Each structure stands twice: as C-alpha cells, then as structure tokens.
C-alpha cells in the first residue's frame, strides 16, 4: 500500500514578498512585481525589465561567513526552506534525521557567481579565483546547504530541467515519501538568474517581453498582445511528509499530493509541440496516478508564461484532456504577477496551488485585457475568485521539452 503524502509547510521569497504570506496577499490583489532593472546597467539589452526580489536580507537567517560562500540562488533556497520548516511547525529534536531529506530544483544555478569569477580571472588572473567558486556555482548545492543547516541525512540532490526543475523536485520527493524511503522532505526550488549575461542570452533568444515602458503590464498570459515572458527570480519551497507523520504531530495540512505525470515533447530545444500533446500526456499520467478523472479537477495553476507558442499549446493540451469540461475549469497564471521564476516556478506555483485549495480562493490572471481568440478558456481575469477546490493541477513545462503535471487534493480530516 502506498504511503499518503501531504503538504505541511510553505516558504517563499518572490518579487511579490519576502515570505509566503506577503506573496499570497499580493497575488490575491493582483499586484505586479515587474519593474525596470536597476541593479546593473541594461545598456545594449532589448529588454530592460524583470521581476526582481527586493530588499532581501538573508543575513537575518544566515551567518556572515556562510553567506559569503553562497551564491544568491543558494541564499534564496536556504531562507525559503527555513521558512517552510518553521511554517510546518517542525522541531529538529523530534525528528529522525536519517528519514528527512531535501530535493530542490534550479534551472540555471549560480550564474552570478560564474559571471563574477570569470571577470576575476580575466582581470586579476587565475590564482584570484575563489576556492568556493565551484560549490557556489553548482545547482545541487542549494539542497546540500539546506541539509547542512538542518542536519537532514536522508535523500539529497537537485533536479535540473529548465523551467520544470522544481516541479520535478516535488514529484521526486512525493515518490520518495510514497515509497516509504523518508518521512519528511523539503522540496521546491530557487532561481536567481537576473544578471547581465543571462538577460543578454534570453534577449538573444527573443524569448522575453520588450514592453519596457509598461513593466507591470509586460507579463500577460493568454492575452492577444503578449510578446514573451518576463524574467523573475525567487524561491518556492514545500514541506511534504507522510500522512502518518503529519497526524502523529498534529500538523496543519494544506493539501495532499496525489499524482504526478512527467513526459517529454522530444520535438524542439525551446518550442513546445504545437498541439500541446506532450503537456496533455503529462496531465493524463497525473490524473491516472491520482486515480481520478478529468471531471474531478476544478482548478489549474497553468504554466502560463505569456509566450505566443506556449500559452496556445497549453490551452490546446487542456482541451485535449478535458474536452468540453475545459470551459468549466478555473485557470490562472501566477507568472502574470511574479514573472517567470524559471527553475523555481514549479515550487512557488505548487505552494500557491496548495494554499488555494486550503483557503478556497484563487488569485487572478492580470493583464488579460484583450484575450487571444485561440485562448478561449476561463483564465480568471483581473479578480480573485472564491471557490471550493477538491482537486487541482499545477503545470510546469521547460526548455528541452520537459513537461510536469502535479495533482493536489483537499485533505479532509477523518
């Protein structure tokens, strides 16, 4: 018999707030976190806007010596993980640390460190490169640093699948607990890739919005006038644990994870399959894994990036799986306000989906002023909506054709 897996803690640092609750409140009011970039010169860049984390003070959680040896990506991961740990009401003295693990995702990792150390080598020579360059750069170190902080000795690694990275991390953690290999997992992801080189690369790929004069209106999923996604940064972390463990300590339960589906388009480096069939297969697998049908789903937290091809492909995928029921779904895009958190998106949006189920309310999709005629579903424009949610799906898709769908369920005490 498979172990049931529940979500008991949420942590986040995003462009909308330095903790999960502030992020949640700003989402419900439709606030945009997109602004003009001021942290570095954007001369020569076709895009000069992004959704940046503002006024983040990791020193409130991490000692100065450790802080100097961490990339911004790792700082976000550690702080959001500590927040989720605290939110779950966990106490290290009560835990079997051999049965507690960490799996986190990031699509790009320590690119700021990479840029800084490359400049150091060019300008000052190879001997001046930091001995901490490699551990600060590699993607797995976020999970490693969380384990070092908490003493978790169970499964520990990172997942890398572009913008599906932290969704893969959650699915892996779900499976680990479900198989009985751990009782508690910290999972989700972090990303801090708003840097000169990273922005130049995304500009060159023509993937991001150029609506520089109206930053707060640049991310507009499913809108006819969308022109690309908006770069974001942040972290979204969940504590997942066995239902038995949660009940034993009388923990608050946000939601239950009941299914995961993972597929690949095997089609193109960056573009999705035009008919959305890869995403559709991921949703179909997740529903089958959960043991439910399309008619049971009330809400979809979409991948919804604000790209021409991506939004349309996801809409087609939803119609493939849900048929006429697709028009009865409530669908929103967190990225309309946070921008695209890249490898951290699935973690943040998974946490938001769990909170939506618990609170019975979903945030709006903002900037949906002129709906694309081909994207004709209910994307919850402009205003939050109260609704009962028994089952919901969170979608994450990434460059390389990676598709992940997760099914979350309301938990009713029995």
Cβ atoms within 10 Å, residue 165: 32
pLDDT one-digit tens code per residue, 211-251: 999 999 999 999 999 999 999 999 999 999 999 999 999 99
* Buried b / exposed e along 14-49 (16+ C-beta atoms within 10 A): bbbbbbbeebbebbbebbbbbeebeeeebeebebbb
**Is a pLDDT exceeding 90 seen at residue 1?**
no
Which pLDDT score is estimated for 412?
84
**Which among 337, 332, 106 is positioned nearest to 219, based on CA atoms?**
337
Please pick, among 77, 100, 163, 375, the residue that the annotation labels catalytic.
163
Q: What percent of the chain has pLDDT over 90?
A: 99
pLDDT one-digit tens code per residue, 161-186: 999 999 999 999 999 999 999 999 99
Hey, CA dihedral for 259, 265, 269, 271, is it positive or negative? Answer: negative
> Confidence band (pLDDT; 50, 70, 90) for 198?
very high
CA distances in angstroms from 182 to 9, 32, 154, 179, 374, listed in the order given:
16, 38, 7, 8, 45
Which pLDDT score is estimated for 413?
73
Please pick, among 168, 340, 402, 411, the residue that the annotation labels catalytic.
340
Long-range contacts of 380-387 (CB under 8 A, 24+ apart): 380/330, 380/331, 380/332, 382/30, 383/30, 384/28, 384/29, 384/30, 385/330, 385/361, 386/360, 386/361, 387/298, 387/299, 387/330, 387/360, 387/361, 387/362
Q: Does 303 qualify as catalytic in the annotation?
A: yes
* Mean pLDDT of the residues in the chain: 97
Query: For residue 293, what are its two tokens?
Result: 């049908």
pLDDT one-digit tens code per residue, 302-329: 999 999 999 999 999 999 999 999 999 9
pLDDT one-digit tens code per residue, 88-119: 999 999 999 999 999 999 999 999 999 999 99
CB within 8 A of 296, min separation 6: which ones? Answer: 390, 391
Which pLDDT score is estimated for 325?
98
Estimate the crossing angle of helix 20-28 against helix 345-359, to 10 degrees. 70
Helix%, strand%, coil% for the chain, nearest 5 = 40, 20, 40
Report the alpha-carbon distance of residue 332 to residue 64 in Å, rounded.
40
CA-CA-CA-CA torsion for 199, 301, 343, 215, nearest 10 degrees?
Answer: 20
**Is a pLDDT exceeding 80 seen at residue 201?**
yes
Report the alpha-carbon distance of residue 202 to residue 76 in Å, rounded.
22
**Is a pLDDT exceeding 80 seen at residue 361?**
yes
**Is a pLDDT exceeding 70 seen at residue 414?**
no
Give the HSE-up count for residue 178: Cα atoms under 13 Å, Cβ half-sphere: 14
Please pick, among 168, 303, 402, 411, the residue that the annotation labels catalytic.
303
Which pLDDT score is estimated for 158?
98
């Amino acid at each position: 018999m498979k172990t049931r897996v529940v979500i008991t803690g949420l942590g986040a640092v995003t462009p909308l707030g330095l903790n999960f609750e502030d992020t949640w409140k700003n989402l419900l009011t439709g606030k945009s976190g997109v602004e003009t970039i001021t942290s570095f010169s954007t001369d020569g860049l076709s895009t000069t806007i992004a959704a940046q984390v503002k006024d983040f003070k990791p020193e409130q959680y991490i000692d100065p010596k450790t802080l100097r040896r961490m990339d911004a990506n790792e700082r976000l991961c550690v702080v959001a993980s500590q927040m989720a740990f605290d939110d779950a009401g966990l106490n290290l003295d009560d835990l079997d640390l051999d049965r507690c693990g960490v799996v986190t995702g990031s699509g790009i990792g320590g690119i700021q460190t990479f840029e800084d150390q490359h400049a150091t080598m060019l300008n000052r020579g190879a001997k001046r490169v930091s001995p901490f360059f490699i551990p600060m750069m590699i993607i797995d170190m976020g999970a490693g640093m969380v384990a070092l902080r908490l003493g978790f000795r169970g499964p520990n690694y990172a997942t890398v699948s572009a913008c599906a990275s932290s969704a893969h991390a959650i699915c892996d953690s779900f499976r680990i607990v479900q198989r009985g290999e751990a009782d508690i997992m910290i999972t989700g992801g972090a990303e801090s890739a708003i840097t000169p080189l990273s922005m130049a690369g995304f500009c060159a790929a023509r993937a991001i919005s150029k609506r520089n004069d109206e930053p707060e209106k640049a991310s507009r999923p499913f809108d006819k006038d969308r022109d690309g996604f908006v770069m974001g940064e942040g972290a979204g972390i969940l504590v997942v644990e066995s239902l038995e463990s949660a009940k034993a300590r009388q923990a608050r339960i946000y939601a239950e994870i009941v299914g995961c589906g993972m597929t690949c388009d095997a089609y193109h480096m960056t573009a999705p399959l035009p008919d959305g069939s890869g995403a559709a297969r991921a949703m179909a697998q997740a529903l089958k894994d959960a043991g439910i049908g399309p008619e049971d789903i009330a809400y979809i937290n979409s991948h919804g990036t604000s790209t021409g091809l991506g939004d349309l492909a996801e809409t087609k995928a939803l119609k493939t799986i849900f048929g006429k029921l697709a028009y009865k779904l409530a669908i929103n895009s967190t990225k309309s306000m946070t921008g695209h958190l890249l490898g951290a998106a699935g973690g943040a949006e998974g946490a938001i989906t769990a909170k939506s189920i618990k609170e019975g309310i979903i945030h709006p999709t903002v900037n949906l002023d002129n709906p694309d005629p081909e994207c004709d579903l209910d994307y919850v424009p402009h205003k939050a909506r109260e609704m009962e949610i028994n089952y919901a799906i969170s979608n994450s898709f990434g460059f390389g054709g990676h598709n992940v769908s997760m099914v979350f369920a309301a938990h009713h005490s029995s």
